[in-house]
Structure formats: structure tokens, C-alpha cells
Structure 1
Amino acid sequence: MDEQDPNPNRHTHHSHHHHTHEQHRRRKSLDDSSENAVLATIQRDMAVIDFNSTFWKAAHVSYHDNLVLSPMNVSFLMAFMRLGSRGNTYKEIVTTMKFHNEQLMVDECHLLIESMRNEPEFGKDLIISNAIFAPPYCIFRKELMDVAEKKFLTYIGQTDFSNLDNAVQEINTWVNETTQSRISEIVSKDDFKSDNQLIIINTLCFKGHWKVQFPFENTTTDNFFAAGGKKVTIDMMKNTMACPYADLPDFKAKAIGLPYRDGRFSLVIVLPEKRYGLAEVEKRLDTKFSLTIFSKLSIPPSTLIEINLPKFQVTSTDNIKSIFARIGMKSIFQENAELSGCFEKPEKQEKDKKDKLDKIHVSNLIQKIYIEINEVGGTGNENLETVDKITTDPALPESTSEDEDAPVDSTNAETQSVEVIPFIVDHPFLYFLMDSKFGTTVFIGVHATF
């Protein structure tokens, strides 16, 4: 992506080589409703995407395991916590998260969340639910309560941590309900360290519907060469179709972008050239790697991609606290955390309450993500486009001839000149969900084993 181009929407799934400059210019003016939106997108590229790669590299320490993270979702929570943090805690959040302009940060989060909330898939295919659970004596300031849910997708709950069984049940019940039972539990007694604590819960569930589904009858059992040299048998989905593709010599990999039916989100699969080349690909991940890769994707003319993609389901639980510790954010997790801006000030006579508030810190920040990738891509078998509709380059003109035989002839001619590029995902790969409207990575993962 060019540094000067603030509009990542140029590279949505329907972009291809035949768009004129005028079409691009027109689409840009339609997509960007205001200069503020453009500015927010530029800043998002610089801040959250910068944080994405730092966070990912700190998290992914073993190439033998599956991992999926949502730096975007962590950003929502930390943006909220920044509003109430002070002193060293504040400095560490700002530095680690690249949150230098408070108003812009709030506007970005709100803009992105509001935009996602307006998508019909939100709350069904994509569920984001975050919460901060605090002891009863922690009363969050009204101005923070007013924006928590609306601008940061964050629920604030009060829990009595002195009764651990109840606290565990309360939090797990909340998660089970808000994720529609896709995540049934997230905490155990071991996650609670003291009474003077905040527990932060961060969840994301995704099970989108493909724009073009994989035919069920094509799925076969196949070999997957997992990390550590293991060969495992998996269900491999198959389809041959026109889809966004890119060779990535700089990453020693190639990539495809599989659009979901809304057109806004695409699952980008980055496949290393070598069977065990994932570590090499990750070494090359720079600040804006997801945006860089996404911007290179385009539908090659007269070319079909032969896709073999494993069917998989992931439930990943990550202790974000330990990842943050590796990149310099520690204060918020210690008893001397400076979070006084979060809470209503106690009365002078409430010395006991003041002492407790002084020790309040985040004892745990847990992220749990559930992702399912299957033939339909979603929960139902709706009438989606079939492969027949897109097996030719969308830019080829349709025949206007009245002769019934003409379309058949033109199809035959096309078929003879169509190149087929194999994209066989039979070894560890990187993937991410791209929001083409904001140039934001919703989640990023590696699948190294089954």
C-alpha cells in the first residue's frame, strides 16, 4: 500500500487489474464519507497496525503450536483503560499501544465499532464481547461508564472476589451468554490472585459465510504436514475459482484472499513456499505486514486458483498479561498500578476503601477466540453463489449475441486459455481476517498442527 493512499478499500475482493484510475478515484470519494474518516484510517494504520506486529511477535514464541490473537480487540480494552490510568501506568499504555492522541484514539475505536455494529453479520457471524469485572467497592466514574459499551464494546461488572466459586460461575455465565455458547468458560479459580483486582475478559467468535462456498462433495481426507515433521490426516476442502491472489517473494510465500458474503471481510491465507517455512515468513513480518499483503492481492485475469484448504476449528486462550510483559507493559498488572482515574473518589472517612482502591490492579487479562472455517463458512446452508458464476474473470465482457450457441463457444475459448494456479494448503500457514473498510486486522493466527 502506498504511504500516501489512506484508503485501503482499493483492495477489496472485487478489485482487479481492469479498474481504471477514474473508477478508483470515484470509489475513493464514495467510500470516504469525511476527511475525519480518512484521518482516522491513516492514524489506525500507524497505531493499531504497528501494535499488531509488535504484539504478534511477542506472542508467537513457538512455531509448533496453533495460535490466534486479536490485537484489535485488545486495543479496544486498552484504549478504555488508558482513559482512567495515570502516571507510569498511563505512560506504558501509551507507549506500548501507540495511543498518543487521546481524542483520536477514542474516535477511532468508536468509528470502527459503530461501523461493525451496523453490519448485519455483527452479533451473529462476528461476536465481540469484552468485560472488566471489579470488586463491589470499585465504582467506575460515570463518564467512563457512559462510553464503555458504546465506544469500546466493554461491559463493566461488579463481582465479589472473596467468594471465588461464585465469581468464577458469574464470569463464565456472562461469557457463555454473550458468545451464544460458543465459549462456555474462560476463567477458573487459578486466575484470581487477590481481592484487590480487576479481571479483564476479551472474547471474539467468528464463523462467517463465504461469498463462494466450497462444495461439500469436494471435501476429501488428505495429508497435512504438521509442525515437527508429523503427517496427519485432515478434511481438505477444495474448489477451483477466480479469487484474489498474490505471489509474495519478499515473504517467501504466496497468498489468497477469500471474501465473505458481505464483501467487507476477507480471510487471507499466507502459505509459505517451503513445507516448514513458517518461521522464515514470520521473520519477515514488518510493521504493516497484513496491510502490505492485503494490498498486493488482486484477481489475476484469465486465471483460476485451485484451492485446497483444511477445514478447521480453533479455540485459543491466551494470557495477554504475559505477552504485554514482554513488550514493556507491566505497571497495570502490579499492586502499585495507577488507576485512580477509573473510579469515583471515596469519602475522606472511607480510609479502608481508599487503601483498597490504591492497590487495585489488573490481575489477569484473558483473551479467548473461537473460529470455525468450513465449506459454507457459517452456521447455515443459505443460497450462496455457486462456483459456476465466477469461474471466469469478472472483467471479461459478457456476450451480447442473440445466437444461443455463442455463449457456449466463448466459454470454450476462455476455458482453453485459462491458467490454473495451485494453492494447496497442506503445511503450516498464517491467516488473518481483514476488514477492507478500515484496513484493520480483526484477528491473526497460525495453524501449524491438527
Structure 2
Amino acid sequence: MESLVSANTKFCFDLFQELSKNDRLKNMFFCPLSISAALGMIRLGARSDSARQIDEVLHFNELSQSESKEPDPCLKRNKLEVPADSSLEGEENTKGSLNLQAKSSKDENQLLSCYFEQLLSKLDRIRTDYTLSIANRLYGEQEFPVCPEFLEAVIKFYHTTIESVDFRKETEKSRQEINFWVESQSQGKIKELFSKDTISEATVLVLVNAVYFKAKWEKHFDCENTVDAPFSLTESEKKNVKMMHQKGLFRIGFIEELKAQILEMKYTKGKLSMFVLLPTCSEDNVKALEELERKITHEKIEAWSSSENMSEETVALSFPQFILEDSYNLNAILQDMGIKDIFDETKANLTGISPSPNLYLSKVVHKTFVEVDEYGTQAAAATGAVGMAKSMPRCIEFNADHPFLFFVKHNKTQTILFYGRVCCP
């Protein structure tokens, strides 16, 4: 399962770079795990080049390289047969060789799905300390029959299903049904996922994912210490924000190569944490943030947030309240990253989902909401409260009064649940 976490993290940073291309000053917030799991579900039914492109972009092709040298318990444990990729084209092989390749592809698909089942189960398990709801669902035009094996596997591994709707004759009703489901899954925080005219009678398959997260800070901020303070957007532009303050023990480190601080703020009981990457305040804060963004990799995040780089110190912490809300139509973004065929009516091979050769993915939509205040985080939002740590003589200042990056991590699995950039709270 560790290699799936690694693959998801790599995809997170790849996606962030793609989303950042057009606007370096834009606030951003997304859930890489949700998108990865949603596309893992599509991968279950993708074949030939459609499958290969997903594997390469989401780093799924790296799973077996690092973990299948020995028989994997996932492959032993799961008796459910994942639909095999039998459409191996463009190769002249014997029948026996083809069968071996089909079996290998099926094993890799089952390995991926089983890892997702393990990971999603671990994340959903603890509900007393935080709420995390990752809800993915496929909506397919009712004229397309769904393969029973695919439906069974999606329910088992991804804890969801594929809903049959009438996009052609009841377009508006279908849109409202999808929007209602998303709103209910996100505790009312994500409304109107699909605006009018975004779904038409030509729509055949829609992939939706909604994420809701709510947790309390282990060390809450006292509301009485929240004051209006300037936040430096650019060299010349400042904005007054609600700045929260507290002094206490936090894990903090310094990234020498980037002249940046990294701080961990734990949620109740320490199962989840928010990590904040803050470049040193300079004449050009935007340039400093861009430099940080360019240098981030999966390996470096692991090193920067390790116990070798971070230690528990008394910190005078200043952190802004903020609400971020964003919506991403991922079709064009994923195509630019290399996942092209599943969106092309003439090239898509999703015959593991439906035997119909005309099935392709019409839309992938991802909408997010995060609110950070004195008590905690509500992502899709936040609330909560716990005690303060006593102060120590030595004190390090961490003042997030200029653009920064942040991510929320599930500490036991090292999974990045949310990733974001705050340029303007």
C-alpha cells in the first residue's frame, strides 16, 4: 500500500504544477486522493491505451515495480475477480502469451484496487476524532449496459457504485440529482456542482467526487487574540485579514535550500496534521513561493517533514483565517497531463465498464471547500477546541502574513488528503 501512497503524492505535485500554469497568484485547494481514487475506478474498466495513459499519469505503473516482488497479500486475499484487460492490441503473440499478459494485467488492476480498498478503509475508520467523507460516483447514460464484474468490483474496492440516469431525455433532472447527492455528501458545503448547461443530452458518463473533512485543532487559537493585520499579497499590495495568534509547542523546521519554514499543526489526537510551508518574507514573496513550488517533490516533502528536519519548539504562531472554494473541470487538465483517450469518443476503450464501444468519459469535475478558523478546519470545512501548551523560554516566530503552501496529511499512512496554496486569504 505504501507505493500507492507514494504514487498519489507524486500525482498531487504533478497536478498542482498543471493547475498553477495559468495563474501563479491564485488560491488553490484540491484533494489529490479523491481524484486519484476516482480515476482508479475508471482504470478498473479501462483497456489498452486508455488504461496505459491513466497508469502513467497517476504513477499506477510504479506499484508492481516496488511491491510485487513477493506475493502480495492483496492478491492472495481477494477472491473477487477484477475484470481483466483482454484487449491487447498491436502485438503478434501466441495464444498462451496473450493469456499470460491478460492475467498479468488483471493482477496489476486487482493490486491497485485492493490497495485503494485498504487505504480508503483506514481513512474512514476513525470517526470520533474527525470526519472525512470521500465520495466518488459514476453516473452513466441508462442506454449503456454496465458489466456486472465492474459493478461488483467498484462496490467492493471503491465503496461506491455507478448510477444509471437518463441524460438524453431527462437532462435537467439528472443534473439536479447529481448536484443533490454531492451537496448531501459534503454536508451542504458544495452546492451546484454542475451549473445549468454543463450537462446535455449528449452526456454519457460523468465522474463525480466530493470530499468533506472536519477536524478540531489539538491546540486551538483563542478568539480574543484574533486581530486585523496586514497580509502581503505582492511587493506593493497588502490586504487586512483576520490573523490568529497563539504561543505553544509545535514541530517546526527550516528548509535551508529554500530559506523556508515548515510547521506542523496537529488536529485532535494527532491522527491528522496540517503542514504549512512558508518562504521567508522578502521583497518578492511571489517569486519566493514560486521557487518553493518548483522544488517540491515527494522525496523532498518526506525529508522536510521528517524528525531529522523538524523538532518540537516553542513557537509564536500567527496564522490567517481563510475560506477557499474552488471548482475544477479536469477534462482539459488531465488531457494536458497525458490522459487523452478516455475523453475521445473515437479512441476511448472503457469496455471493462460497458461492452458498448461508444462509451467515453464526458466530464470529470472536482469541487472543494475549506475553512480554517480558531477551532479547526472544515474542508469541503472546520471547528473544534483543545488546550494550550505551556510556553518555554526560547521562542521561534512563525508569521504566515504572506503567501504560503499547506497540506493536510493522515499521519499513519502518510497520505496527503488536501493540498493548497494561499495567496490571498
TM-score (norm 1): 0.77
Contact 2:370 2:377 in 1 (8 A): no
CA deviations over 1:154-198 (Å, ceiling 9, x no partner): 342122112322122111111111112111220023323552521
Instruction: Give the superposition deviation at 1:381.
Output: 6.9
User: Cα gap change, 1:297/1:63 in structure 2, threshold over 3 Å: closer, same or farther?
Assistant: farther
Q: Which residue of 2 aligns with 1:82?
A: 43
CA deviations over 1:186-221 (Å, ceiling 9, x no partner): 002332355252111112122311111111111111
Instruction: Give the superposition deviation at 1:282.
Output: 0.6
CA deviations over 1:35-56 (Å, ceiling 9, x no partner): xxxxx21x12442222222222
1:433 and 2:394 matched: no
Q: Which residue of 1 aligns with 2:53?
A: 92
1:421 and 2:396 matched: yes
CA distance in 1 between counterparts of 2:47 and 2:189 reads: 36
Instruction: Give the superposition deviation at 1:60.
Output: 1.4
CA distance in 1 between counterparts of 2:315 and 2:216 reads: 20
Contact 1:267 1:432 in 2 (8 A): yes
Q: Which amino acid aligns with 1:84?
A: G
Partner SS, residue 151 of structure 1: helix
Q: Which amino acid aligns with 2:387?
A: T
1:206 and 2:213 matched: yes
Partner SS, residue 419 of structure 1: coil
User: Cα gap change, 1:322/1:291 in structure 2, threshold over 3 Å: closer, same or farther?
Assistant: farther
1:141 and 2:147 matched: yes
Partner SS, residue 240 of structure 1: strand
Partner SS, residue 250 of structure 2: coil
CA deviations over 1:236-268 (Å, ceiling 9, x no partner): 111111011010122331110101103111000
Counting aligned pairs with the same residue, the percent is 24
Q: Which residue of 1 aligns with 2:247?
A: 240
CA distance in 2 between counterparts of 1:121 and 1:340 reads: 41
Unaligned 5+ runs, structure 2: 62-107
CA distance in 1 between counterparts of 2:205 and 2:245 reads: 46
Contact 2:214 2:383 in 1 (8 A): no
CA deviations over 1:57-94 (Å, ceiling 9, x no partner): 11212211111122211111111111111121111111
CA distance in 2 between counterparts of 1:296 and 1:320 reads: 36
- Between 150-159 and 70-79, the greater mean CA deviation after superposition: 150-159
Q: Which amino acid aligns with 1:129?
A: A
Contact 1:239 1:307 in 2 (8 A): yes
- Between 241-250 and 281-290, the greater mean CA deviation after superposition: 281-290
Q: Which residue of 1 aligns with 2:134?
A: 128
Q: Which amino acid aligns with 1:103?
A: Q
Unaligned 5+ runs, structure 1: 1-39, 346-356, 393-414
Q: Please identify the structure whose Cα radius of gyration is greater.
A: 1
1:446 and 2:406 matched: no
Contact 1:309 1:424 in 2 (8 A): yes
Q: Which amino acid aligns with 1:54?
A: D
Instruction: Give the superposition deviation at 1:120.
Output: 1.1
CA deviations over 1:291-341 (Å, ceiling 9, x no partner): 33322577645x311111011111111112222122111111110211011
1:177 and 2:204 matched: no
TM-score (norm 2): 0.81
CA deviations over 1:137-169 (Å, ceiling 9, x no partner): 223222222232442243421221123221221
1:367 and 2:366 matched: yes
Q: Which residue of 1 aligns with 2:99?
A: none
Q: How many residues are matched?
A: 369
1:385 and 2:345 matched: no
1:292 and 2:303 matched: yes
Once superposed, what is the RMSD of the aligned Cα atoms?
A: 2.1
User: Cα gap change, 1:121/1:362 in structure 2, threshold over 3 Å: closer, same or farther?
Assistant: farther
The residue correspondences of 1:35-434 to structure 2 (distance < 5 A) are 40-41=1-2, 43-61=3-21, 62-100=23-61, 101-121=108-128, 125-162=131-168, 163-192=170-199, 195-227=202-234, 229-273=236-280, 274=282, 275-276=285-286, 277-296=288-307, 300=311, 303-336=313-346, 337-343=348-354, 345=355, 357-377=356-376, 384-387=385-388, 390-391=389-390, 415=392, 418-434=393-409
Q: Which residue of 2 aligns with 1:404?
A: none
Contact 1:219 1:235 in 2 (8 A): yes
Q: Which amino acid aligns with 1:341?
A: G
User: Cα gap change, 1:369/1:196 in structure 2, threshold over 3 Å: closer, same or farther?
Assistant: closer
Contact 1:243 1:257 in 2 (8 A): yes
CA distance in 2 between counterparts of 1:335 and 1:441 reads: 33
Q: Which amino acid aligns with 1:370?
A: F
- Between 157-166 and 90-99, the greater mean CA deviation after superposition: 157-166
User: Cα gap change, 1:287/1:118 in structure 2, threshold over 3 Å: closer, same or farther?
Assistant: closer
CA distance in 1 between counterparts of 2:139 and 2:174 reads: 9
CA distance in 1 between counterparts of 2:41 and 2:122 reads: 18
CA distance in 1 between counterparts of 2:289 and 2:113 reads: 36
Q: Which amino acid aligns with 2:373?
A: N
Partner SS, residue 352 of structure 2: helix
Contact 1:53 1:289 in 2 (8 A): no
CA distance in 1 between counterparts of 2:8 and 2:377 reads: 28
Partner SS, residue 29 of structure 2: strand
CA distance in 1 between counterparts of 2:163 and 2:235 reads: 43
- Between 196-205 and 287-296, the greater mean CA deviation after superposition: 287-296
